[in-house]
Amino acid sequence: MNATSPIIDLREVRYTVGGRVIFDGLDMQILPGQVTAVMGPSGTGKTTLLRLITGQATADAGSIDVGGVAVVGASRSQVYALRQRMGMLFQNGALLTDISVFENVAFPLREHTRLPERLIRQLVLTKLQAVGLRGAAGLMPAELSGGMARRVALARAIVMDPQILLYDEPFVGLDPISMGVILRLIRRFNDALGLTSIVVSHDVHEITAVADRVFLLSGGRVVAQGTPQELHDSPSDIVKQFVGGLADGPVPFHYPAPDYFEELLARDGGRFA
């Protein structure tokens, strides 16, 4: 694989849930070593995209290739082997609540390796130091703030030295300081550890500050892609609406509904009777 061939390659992906089409004809190529942002209005299936890449959900049609492994149609053990090369940061951290911060970070090591205790200790403390929480190693997850929990989860995600790191809405509900910390860590880990990072988010300004490349999803496909600057200068209506945060545009303000006046004046209660 040379430096310019994509490490994650989605082609013509179609995915439906209960008859609702989430993706149709989704094409996306993600280059190694870059921070790629995936943005889009809520409900466009950004999280679902991560589930497809990690094999937690299976596409109905199309191909998904991650690091040379075809995810669609892979066996359970192939998917598990692939996941050992990936780390994922969940929206709320998803730390195991019955064990301490230290044990949470040590968890993948204990499950997958037979390293001596001394080495596990060193690895865990190194990763916790990298996210600035070595001092919190003895705390339980319930004692952490939202931002700290996410940093611990980040330490856990990199403890197995993955090639690919996926972030699912890493900024939701964080104060500006914690948000800045996470942003800095995303960039730093990507460059220092030689990772490929994919950040799903709708915090336009934060994420465009750190991303090398941005994909904008809407209506089940990629509607725009490019560097943050290219997106910022884009003449496309939907890109303008999203980047500018406009309430109405190609993405409508109103959920589809019957005629407003007719519904207000309906005598028998209409749809809600």
Partner 1 sequence: MIRDFLDSLSESIERLGDTVRFLARILAQVPSALLRPQLIFDQIYNAGALSLVIIMLSGLFVGMVLGLQGYDLLQRFGSEDALGTAAAIGLVRELGPVVTALLFAGRAGTALASEIGLMRATDQLSAMEMMAVDPVRRVVVPRFVGGVIAMPLLAAIFSMIGIYGAQLVGVQVMHVDAGSFWSQMQASVELRDVNEGIVKSVVFGIACSLIAVYQGYHSEPTAEGVGTATTRTVVTSAVIVLFLDYLITAFFLK
Question: Which of 35, 39, 49, 88 touches partner 1 (CB under 8 A)?
Answer: 88
Residue 105 found at the interface with partner 1 (CB under 8 A): no
Residue 16 found at the interface with partner 1 (CB under 8 A): no
Question: Which of 90, 102, 189, 215 touches partner 1 (CB under 8 A)?
Answer: 90
Residue 196 found at the interface with partner 1 (CB under 8 A): no
Rounded distance between C-alpha atoms, residue 223 and residue 240, angstroms: 12
**Amino acid (1-letter code) at residue 71:** V
Residue 140 found at the interface with partner 1 (CB under 8 A): no
Residue 108 found at the interface with partner 1 (CB under 8 A): yes
**Is-contact 38 215, C-beta < 8 A?**
yes
112, two tokens = 């997958």
Residue 54 found at the interface with partner 1 (CB under 8 A): yes
Where does this chain touch partner 1 (CB under 8 A) — which range of 75-83, 179-187, 200-208, 227-235? 75-83
Q: Which residues contact 201 (CB under 8 A, 6 or more apart)?
A: 37, 38, 39, 46, 167, 169, 170, 171, 207
Residue 184 found at the interface with partner 1 (CB under 8 A): no
126, two tokens = 């190194």
Residue 29 found at the interface with partner 1 (CB under 8 A): no
Where does this chain touch partner 1 (CB under 8 A) — which range of 81-89, 171-179, 189-197, 242-250? 81-89
Strand 69-70 and strand 61-66: the pairing is antiparallel
How far, in whole angstroms, is CA 79 from its chain's centroid? 18
- Residue number with CB closer to partner 1 (131 or 223): 131
Rounded distance between C-alpha atoms, residue 239 and residue 237, angstroms: 5
- Residue number with CB closer to partner 1 (76 or 254): 76
Rounded distance between C-alpha atoms, residue 178 and residue 153, angstroms: 14
**Is-contact 3 32, C-beta < 8 A?**
yes
Question: Which of 16, 63, 84, 163 touches partner 1 (CB under 8 A)?
Answer: 84
Q: Which residues form the interface with partner 1 (CB under 8 A)?
A: 54, 56, 80-81, 83-84, 86-88, 90-92, 94-97, 107-108, 111-112, 153, 156, 160
